[in-house]
């Protein structure tokens, strides 16, 4: 497959890992990023990993003129869209901001793509669109009940893609509903690097392991789960990234739209994650059990069957690999920061 792909948000956590896999699969990739939640040196690191020059346009998906220029200068076969905001709690506080970036940004991109005759889109969605599960593992035909502006934004974007396809059959889409991404690239050159105190479990544990945060706060141990702590389906970011290649193949080679979970089918609790991270970093990590976090649910994990049948997707990296690569990444960063 030799095609040219536009990758919005390509300097971010999942976007940068996807960039590496796209290049490895022989695709030509152009990144668009506004660097609002990504560092510029990610581009240098991507060049080291891939051994090739990175093409990146700095700008915003809300800027139609900017997008037109990028699209005029490149003949794309497809787009993979990540650029957006992703903190559930923040979305509750700033619904307007979230709607603008996530929904208006995406519709601006789609309009520019349409104008440029690029009608294959892989969209980064989330398992959060399901809301509280009726059954587990969660299949794709489960009801969608978004419980936050962030989840609602993602569902609106999914709906828009489906409506576009209905209006014009030349569109095709791959909607990928991610479960909980974790881990880092084996090179330790790219990984998750939140600007503020992390909201999510894995990067929080990582900061406890580096000594930047004193202890993990376990949000509740009275859930209806084996050890009482919340259970989630953690998926290695490299597996997740590879899923995008399979989704793109389906669009480019077969023109088949799809909505699939990117999940492992297995759930781990907060304490499972802590123990696995302790094993990876070789330290005991302090924690305290605090109250439940508003909006959290007991447990959910995905049904990976459809992704396997439709795309041939299978997550193969295990929890130890997620923790080890995360630890390698954060400890390498901490060491270089402390170097004189």
State the catalytic residues.
150
Strand residue runs (E) in the chain: 4-8, 28-33, 55-58, 78-81, 120-126, 172-178, 180-182, 216-219, 231-232, 234-236, 258-262, 268-269, 287-290
Cα Rg for the chain, rounded, in angstroms?
19
Residues forming beta bridges with residue 258, ordered by sequence position: 174
Q: Across the chain, how many H-helices and E-strands are there?
A: 12, 13
Cβ-in-10-Å burial (0-12, 13-18, 19+) of 105 comes to buried
Q: For binding to ligand UFG (CB under 6 A), which residues are involved?
A: 86, 88, 126-128, 179-180, 199-201, 204, 216-219, 230, 232, 270, 293, 296
Closest approach of ligand UFG to the CB of residue 80, in Å: 18
Q: Which tokens belong to 89?
A: 């709690």
Q: Which is nearer to ligand UFG, 14 or 311 (CB)?
A: 14
Per-position DSSP letters for 53-88, written without gaps between them? PPEEEE--TT-HHHHHHHHHH---SEEEE--S---H
Q: Which is nearer to ligand UFG, 24 or 197 (CB)?
A: 197
Q: Which is nearer to ligand UFG, 42 or 218 (CB)?
A: 218
DSSP-derived letter for residue 103 is I
Closest approach of ligand UFG to the CB of residue 92, in Å: 12
3-state DSSP assignment of residue 312: coil
Closest approach of ligand UFG to the CB of residue 208, in Å: 9
Closest approach of ligand UFG to the CB of residue 160, in Å: 19
Q: Which is nearer to ligand UFG, 57 or 234 (CB)?
A: 234
The size of the chain, in residues, is 340
Closest approach of ligand UFG to the CB of residue 322, in Å: 12
Q: Which is nearer to ligand UFG, 13 or 179 (CB)?
A: 179
Closest CA to 259 of 131, 124, 169, 145: 124
Residue with nearest beta carbon to ligand UFG: 230
Closest approach of ligand UFG to the CB of residue 216, in Å: 6
Q: Which is nearer to ligand UFG, 249 or 283 (CB)?
A: 283
Give the H/E segment covering residue 165: helix 149-167
The Cα–Cα gap between 312 and 167 comes to 29
Taking CA 263 as the corner, what is the angle to CA 257 and CA 267, rounded to the nearest 5 degrees? 155
């Amino acid at each position: 497959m030799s095609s040219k792909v536009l990758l919005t948000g390509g300097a971010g956590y999942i976007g940068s890992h996807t960039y590496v896999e796209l290049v490895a699969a022989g695709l030509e990739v152009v990144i668009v990023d506004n660097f609002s939640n990504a560092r510029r040196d990610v581009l240098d690191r991507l060049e080291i990993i891939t051994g090739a020059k990175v093409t990146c346009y700095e700008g915003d998906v809300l800027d139609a003129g900017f997008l037109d220029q990028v699209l005029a200068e490149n003949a794309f076969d497809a787009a993979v869209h990540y650029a957006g905001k992703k903190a559930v709690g923040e979305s509750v506080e700033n619904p307007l901001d979230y709607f603008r970036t996530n929904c208006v940004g995406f519709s601006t991109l789609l309009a520019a793509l349409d104008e440029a005759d690029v009608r294959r889109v892989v969209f980064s969605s989330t398992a959060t669109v399901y809301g509280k599960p009726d059954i587990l593992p969660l299949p794709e035909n489960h009801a969608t009940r978004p419980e936050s502006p962030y989840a609602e934004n993602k569902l609106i974007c999914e709906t828009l893609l489906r409506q576009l396809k209905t209006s014009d059959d030349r569109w095709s889409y791959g909607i990928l509903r991610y479960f909980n991404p974790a881990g880092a690239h084996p090179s330790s050159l790219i990984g998750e690097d939140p600007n503020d105190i992390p909201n999510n479990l894995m990067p929080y544990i990582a900061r406890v392991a580096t000594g930047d945060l004193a202890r993990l706060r376990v949000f509740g141990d009275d859930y209806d789960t084996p050890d009482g702590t919340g259970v989630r389906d953690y998926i290695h970011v490299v597996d997740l990234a590879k899923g995008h290649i399979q989704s793109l193949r389906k669009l480019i080679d077969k023109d088949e739209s799809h909505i699939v979970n990117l999940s492992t089918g297995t759930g781990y609790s907060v304490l499972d994650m802590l123990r696995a991270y302790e094993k990876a970093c070789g330290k005991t990590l302090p924690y305290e059990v605090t109250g439940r976090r508003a909006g959290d649910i007991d447990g959910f994990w995905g049904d990976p069957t459809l992704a396997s049948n439709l795309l041939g997707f299978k997550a193969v990296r295990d929890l130890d690999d997620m923790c080890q690569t995360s630890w390698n990444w954060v400890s390498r960063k901490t060491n270089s920061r402390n170097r004189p």
